[in-house]
Amino acid sequence: MLFVCQEILTIDFQTVFSCFRYKLEVVGKSLPILTNVDKGKYGVIVFENMDRYLTMDKWNRELLDKYCRQYQVGIIGFMSPREESLIGAQLRGFPLHIHTNFKLKDAELKADSPVLRITRGGDVLWGPLPGNDWTVFSPNHSTYEPLAMGSIQAPEDSPAYGGLSTNAITVIRDCGEFDGIQRILFGSGLDFWLHRLLFLDAMSFLSHGRLSTSLQRYIQVDIDDIFVGQKGTRLTPSDVDSIIETQNRIRTIVPGFRFNMGYSGKFFNHGTEEENKGDEYLLQHADEFTWFGHMWSHQQPHLYENISLLEADMLLNKKFAIEHGIPTDSGYSVSPHHSGVYPVHEALYEMWKKLWNIHVTSTEEYPHLRPARLRRGFIHRGIMVLPRQTCGLYTHTIFIDKYPGGRSTLDSSIKGGELFQTIVFNRINIFMTHMSNYGNDRLALYTFEAATKFLQCWTNLQFQSISALQLAEKYFRMYPEESEPVWGNPCDDQRHMKIWSQNKTCDQLPRFLVLGPQKTGTTALYTFLSMHPAIVSNYPSPETFEEIQFFNGKNYYKGLDWYMNFFPVPKNSTSKFLFEKSATYFDGELVPRRVHALLPKAKLVIIIISPAKRAYSWYQHVRSHGDPTALNHTFYQVLTAGDAQSKALRDLRFRCLSPGMYAHHLDRWLLYFPPQQISVIDGEQVRLDPVTSMSKLQHFLKIRPIFDYSLHLRYDARKGFFCQVVNGDHTKCLGRSKGRHYPTMDSQSAKYLQSFYMTHNIALEKLLKRLGYPIPLWLEEDLSDRPVNNQAVEMSNSL
């Protein structure tokens, strides 16, 4: 874990941190708790403004320094720009002097410093350094070692600093000889790219390797749109030769490197005479490269009217490849404009698998194009989708003098800028380029050769290229948590809308959800809601009846289309409220995050009754479904199953008790949704006075017209519950499985549950009060014998 003391977010730490997984705590005025039992919580402490450390109050400073010494934790500090120019000012309490507000040039590193890991010293970065408010250091003690140096620009203007004019120290290491704490101090922020590298190294060094990223980097460069393109933008034979020569040179830095050619066969030989020779010449050298099918006519998959047309076009490209000796077994493909990859177009995945045996693809769009550092991968239907990086070359970037911002912009991206940092901060890099970037000025060749050389000069990173399949396997081994997709709402992103299927609409998504938990009256609520003329429920599922059960369990992997197909396309989307209820959503660990990703504006309805009553009703429910473990054990045996009992029995206990820990689950929903979007309903009121409950619910949902439930619900004495009024005088009640008849709960179990749920119920009472809800009667009763002063509850209340 990393603890960053920030004032205002002026330093862009996020980009730098993106290359490893970490936990970061940003701290304001007071210190956080530094230890956890007898372990130190933080591996490195970073002060965005070193003055905050230097001027810390005595007590906190002593505490922090003691922590650093005891757990051998180092400090990184950044010198903030200051208005007044200081000359030789002593750093409070340290034998170190600073001089401020310099313009510097010609950066250099102390090549033999043990701090350097990713960063390689030995060369000079000629030219001015960014910023005009650098702080430089003059040490006065052997504890200090320079780490980076620069020369003062125009030393003649600053005679007082004559001695500093060359090799002014810009980053300094305190080896800990002075006060037992190791520190690395930066004379400027992270705007300078070399500081970003040094910062990574400083973290690794001061955390004794714990906050480190691997030195291995994988690079794949795709050339999409092979054969696509206007006359004059295509490849000639000499361009192809140049690609091969450059690739050979890059391979000396990146073993295994080959450009990965994505072709659209329809446009083969569609150029000038010379370009057509280029097409033929490229194929004669097919074995110099790796290949993947793009799309026969470069059409975006989501634009095909039906799957057969998509299939036919894919087959044409495959036939073309076979006829022209292009290998078709890479298992990798890329879709034009990312179409259909994310948001998912199922037909694309289906045909990729069926016709091309595709296992890997890549996109820039998951979860969104920007910010690039947050791009992730996922696996859908066995196809591994890898994040793709951007290198600044697009179809239209053909000539250097027309490069947006000019040559200097491209050069600064290569030399320490965006492209350079992309490779430093991403362990696996897949770049998309286009055929046109390799003709004319051959910008892509220049870009990748210069970038790899610059990386080789300034870093110790080790580069390699491997097959797309190996790359994907490596990626998901590195980041296993990314295998699981998180489906977002395509309508929240303009770009996603454009590459989603044209005949899909977000109007086919629910506006509110009934989350459960099970056995609290969710079916009654669902039925009553469905009676409303403005409310439309989902179609039933053949397996799970009225519940879709999408956000929990396996159905989630079936994808968004599968989910949306449960909803009608409303004719007038604004006046209809689509909804679904799945009672297992409430206590599902992953559900709040998933619901939030897809339906961030949805309203959520939760219905609760006494958790003890709920648990007993659930036990009766699983018994009536023939669950052998429930049938063979009494309720009390289920509740008290301990470690010595079978797994089946322990699982049953968990599933019986866990949903009733209401506050715990509600808290998880509140991490993702504001309280205004959540309504917690008293299930006893739904049972005894559904008209009032439904009236409150309609107000919460802001549904119009208001439906008068008093005319449509009536108590049915035979059923013992409220039922729907049909055909004037009759009632239609819920089936026999709702409102079952079973013996009342035994007193031993009741006592156990009273105790088990006590702390949970206390937490619920607190939470409901905080959210402004009245306390239900059953909760008051369940809490009636609460321990005095909330003493520890006797029996176990954990699972």
User: Residues 603, 739, 758, 762: which binds ligand PPS (CB under 6 A)?
Assistant: 739
The site for ligand PPS, by CB under 6 A, has a size of 19
- Binding residue (CB under 6 A) for ligand PPS from 686, 725, 758, 779: 686
Nearer to ligand PPS, 100 or 555 (CB): 555
> 174 - beta bridge partners?
144, 183
| For ligand PPS, the closer CB: 600 or 720 | 720
Member of 120, 266, 277, 738 binding ligand PPS (CB under 6 A): 738
In angstroms, give the least distance from the CB of 735 to ligand PPS: 8
For the chain, the first-to-last Cα distance in angstroms comes to 28
Looking at residue 690, its amino acid is P
Which residue in the set 319, 381, 740, 769 belongs to the binding site for ligand PPS (CB under 6 A)? 740
Placement of tokens 């659930």 in the chain:
618
Cα 518 to Cα 528: distance, rounded to the nearest angstrom? 17
Task: Pick the piece of the chain touching ligand PPS (CB under 6 A) from 104-112, 265-273, 614-622, 635-643.
Answer: 614-622
Binding-site residue set for 3'-phosphoadenylyl sulfate:
617, 738-742
In the bound complex, what is the minimum distance in angstroms from residue 548's beta carbon to ligand PPS?
Answer: 13
CA distance 304 to 351: 12
**Exactly one of 277, 650, 687, 786 binds ligand PPS (CB under 6 A); which one?**
687
Nearest CB to ligand PPS, comparing residues 342 and 707: 707
Task: Rank residues 148 and 524 by Cβ distance to ligand PPS and give the closer one.
Answer: 524
User: Which of positions 552-591 make contact with ligand PPS (CB under 6 A)?
Assistant: 583
Residues 440 and 398 sit within 8 Å (Cβ to Cβ): yes
Give the range of 156-164, 563-571, 664-672, 735-743 binding ligand PPS by CB under 6 A. 735-743
C-alpha–C-alpha distance, residues 641 and 635, integer Å: 10
362 lies in the binding site for ligand PPS (CB under 6 A): no
724 is a site residue for ligand PPS (CB under 6 A): no
What is the rounded CA–CA span in Å between residue 422 and residue 218? 12
Question: Would you say 449 or 546 has its CB closer to ligand PPS?
Answer: 546
- Cβ contacts of residue 450 below 8 Å, gap of 6+? 411, 414, 415
Q: Half-sphere exposure (CA, 13 Å, Cβ side) for 728?
A: 0
In the complex, what is the shortest distance from the CB of residue 692 to ligand PPS, in angstroms, rounded to a whole number? Answer: 13
Rounded to an integer, what distance in angstroms lies between the CA atom of residue 367 and that of residue 381?
18
Sheet strands (E) in 521-612: 535-537, 577-581, 603-608
Q: Which is nearer to ligand PPS, 187 or 690 (CB)?
A: 690
Can you spell out the DSSP letters for 368-406?
A: -SSSGGG---EEETTEEEEE-B--S--TT---GGGSTT-
Q: Is the previous residue joined to 592 through a cis bond, with omega within 30 degrees of 0?
A: no
For residue 223, what are its two tokens?
A: 């050339």
Calpha distance 169→32 (Å, rounded): 32
Give the shortest CB-663-to-ligand PPS separation in angstroms.
19
- CA angle 431/433/439 to nearest 5° reads 145
Q: State how beta strands 577-581 and 713-716 pair.
A: unpaired
Q: Give the separation between CA 371 and CA 390, rounded to whole angstroms.
A: 11
- Asked if residue 734 binds ligand PPS (CB under 6 A), the reply is yes
Nearer to ligand PPS, 518 or 629 (CB): 518
The residue length of the chain stands at: 799
Annotated binding site: 617, 738-742
Stretch that binds ligand PPS, among 447-455, 519-527, 533-541, 697-705 (CB under 6 A): 519-527
Q: How far is the CB of 631 from ligand PPS (least distance, A)?
A: 17
Which residue in the set 189, 521, 559, 776 belongs to the binding site for ligand PPS (CB under 6 A)?
521
In DSSP notation, 740-785 reads: ---PPPPHHHHHHHHHHTHHHHHHHHHHHHHHTPPPPHHHHHHTTT
Q: Of the listed pieces 206-214, 391-399, 483-491, 514-522, which binds ligand PPS according to CB under 6 A?
A: 514-522
The yes-or-no answer on residue 353 being catalytic is: no
Does 520 help bind ligand PPS (rule: CB under 6 A)?
A: yes
Report if residue 223 touches ligand PPS, rule: CB under 6 A: no
- The least distance separating ligand PPS from the CB of residue 670, rounded to whole angstroms, comes to 22
518 binds ligand PPS (CB under 6 A): yes
722 touches ligand PPS (CB under 6 A): yes
Of 397, 452, 523, 731, the one binding ligand PPS by CB under 6 A:
523
Residue 764 in tokens: 């619920």
Please tell me whether residue 524 binds ligand PPS under the rule CB under 6 A.
yes
Question: Which span (205-213, 376-384, 518-526, 757-765) binds ligand PPS, by CB under 6 A?
Answer: 518-526
Q: In angstroms, what is the minimal distance from the CB of 292 to ligand PPS?
A: 48
3-state SS string for 597-641: HHCCCCEEEEEECCHHHHHHHHHHHHHHCCCHHHHHCCHHHHHCC
User: Among residues 650 and 738, whose Cβ is nearest to ligand PPS?
Assistant: 738
**What minimum distance in Å lies between the beta carbon of 685 and ligand PPS?**
10
Residue (349 or 778) nearer to ligand PPS, CB: 778
Decide: helix, strand or coil at residue 216: strand
CB of 606 to ligand PPS, least distance (A): 12
Q: Distance (Å, rounded) from C-alpha 479 to C-alpha 473?
A: 10
Query: Judged by CB under 6 A, which stretch of 5-13, 212-220, 496-504, 733-741 contacts ligand PPS?
Result: 733-741
C-alpha distances out from residue 295 to 312, 318, 602, Å: 11, 9, 37
* Alpha-helix residue ranges (DSSP H) falling in 342-499: 346-356, 407-414, 418-425, 443-458, 468-478, 494-498
| CB-based contacts of 707, cutoff 8 Å, min separation 6 | 531, 532, 533, 534, 694, 698
Of 41, 110, 504, 519, the catalytic one is 519
Q: Is 721 a residue that touches ligand PPS (CB under 6 A)?
A: yes
Least distance (Å) between residue 607 CB and ligand PPS: 7
Judged by beta carbon, residue 119 or residue 617, the one nearer ligand PPS is 617
Please list the helix, strand and coil fractions of the chain in percent, rounded to the nearest 5, in that order.
40, 20, 40
Q: Which residues contact ligand PPS by CB under 6 A?
A: 518-524, 583, 617, 620-621, 686-687, 721-722, 734, 738-740
Residues known to be catalytic: 519
